[in-house]
Amino acid sequence: MMKLYYEYASKVLNNEIVTGDTIKLACKRFQNDLLRDDLEFREDVVDRAISFIGTLKHYTGKHAGSNFILEGWQQFIIANILGFYWKGTGTRRFTSSYIEVSRKQGKTALAAALCLYYLIADGEDGAEVLLAANSKEQAKIAFDMCSKFSKGLDTKGKYLTAYRADILFKATNSKLKVLAADDSKLDGFNASFGLLDEYHAAKTSKVRDVIKSSMGMRENPHLCTITTAGFDKTLPCYQLRTVAIEVLNELKSDDEMFIAIYSLDADDDWRSEKNWMKVAPNLNVTVTSKYIKGQVQQAINNPSDEVGVRTKTLNQWCDSATVWLSDESIIKCTQAVDLSKFRGLPCYIGVDLAATSDLTAVSYLVVDSDKYYFKTHYYLPESALTDKTDKELYKLWKRAGLLTVTAGNVTDYDYISKNDKTIAVDPRLDFAVGRMEIPYKDWGLPANDWIRNVSSGGVFLPKKHVYSKAEQDAGLAGSTYSSGWAPGSAMNLQYLCLRDCKLLYAECLANDGELSAAMQQVNDIRERAAKPDNIIYLEDGTPAANYLVKPYPSSHAAFSNKETCIKAIHMERKLELAMEGQRFFDLVRWGGDYMNKELTAYINYEKQYLTKFYGVSAPTASKTMFPLPETEIQTAGNDENGQAYLVQNDAWK
- Mean pLDDT value of segment 616-630: 82
**Rounded Cα–Cα distance for residues 69 and 55 (Å):** 9
pLDDT of residue 39: 95
Q: Cα–Cα distances in Å, from 120 out to 42, 116, 169, 189, 286?
A: 19, 6, 7, 18, 27
Provide, rounded to the nearest whole percent, the portion of the chain with pLDDT above 90: 35
pLDDT of residue 647: 87
- Amino acid (one-letter) located at 145: M
Positive or negative CA dihedral for 388, 389, 393, 396? positive
Residue 644 DSSP code: B
Q: Cα–Cα distances in Å, from 357 out to 26, 404, 419?
A: 46, 14, 20
The answer to whether the beta carbons of residues 178 and 162 sit under 8 Å apart is: no
Residue 119 — pLDDT band, cuts 50, 70, 90?
very high
- Mean pLDDT value of segment 202-229: 89
**238-252 residue pLDDT tens:** 889 988 998 998 888
492, pLDDT greater than 70: no
372, pLDDT greater than 90: no
Provide, rounded to the nearest whole percent, the portion of the chain with pLDDT above 70: 85
Q: b/e map of 362-400 (b: 16 or more CB within 10 Å)?
A: bebebeeeeeebebebbbbbeebbeeeeeebebbbbbbb
Model pTM score: 0.55
Q: Which helix (H) or strand (E) holds 128?
A: strand 128-133
| Inter-axis angle of helices 562-576 and 583-590, nearest 10 | 160
Residue 222 — pLDDT band, cuts 50, 70, 90?
very high
**Rounded Cα–Cα distance for residues 301 and 289 (Å):** 18
pLDDT of residue 488: 44
How are beta strands 222-227 and 257-261 bridged, if at all?
unpaired
Q: Which helix (H) or strand (E) holds 132?
A: strand 128-133
Most confident of 364-378, 530-544, 551-565, 595-609: 551-565
**Rounded Cα–Cα distance for residues 346 and 385 (Å):** 34
**Rounded Cα–Cα distance for residues 603 and 361 (Å):** 31
190, pLDDT greater than 90: no
Most confident of 14-18, 263-267, 463-467, 621-625: 14-18
The C-alpha R_g of the chain, in whole angstroms, comes to 29
51, pLDDT greater than 80: yes
**Rounded Cα–Cα distance for residues 145 and 110 (Å):** 10
In this structure, of 4-13, 81-90, 371-380, 459-468, the range with the lowest mean pLDDT score is 459-468
Residue 403 — pLDDT band, cuts 50, 70, 90?
confident
| Inter-axis angle of helices 4-13 and 21-34, nearest 10 | 120
**547-593 residue pLDDT tens:** 889 999 999 999 999 999 999 999 999 999 998 888 888 998 898 88
pLDDT of residue 480: 47
The answer to whether the beta carbons of residues 303 and 318 sit under 8 Å apart is: no
Within 10 A of 164 (CB to CB), how many other CB atoms are there?
A: 8
Q: Which of 650, 648, 645, 651 is nearest to 629 (CA)?
A: 648
- Mean pLDDT value of segment 632-645: 87
pLDDT of residue 503: 95
Positive or negative CA dihedral for 533, 537, 540, 546? negative
**Rounded Cα–Cα distance for residues 46 and 80 (Å):** 9
491, pLDDT greater than 50: no
- Mean pLDDT value of segment 74-91: 95
**Rounded Cα–Cα distance for residues 157 and 388 (Å):** 49
In this structure, of 7-21, 322-336, 401-415, 593-607, the range with the lowest mean pLDDT score is 322-336
420, pLDDT greater than 70: no
Residue 232 — pLDDT band, cuts 50, 70, 90?
confident
- Residue 140: partners with Cβ closer than 8 Å, 6 or more residues away: 178
- Mean pLDDT value of segment 329-343: 69
Q: Which of 345, 376, 348, 381 is nearest to 362 (CA)?
A: 376
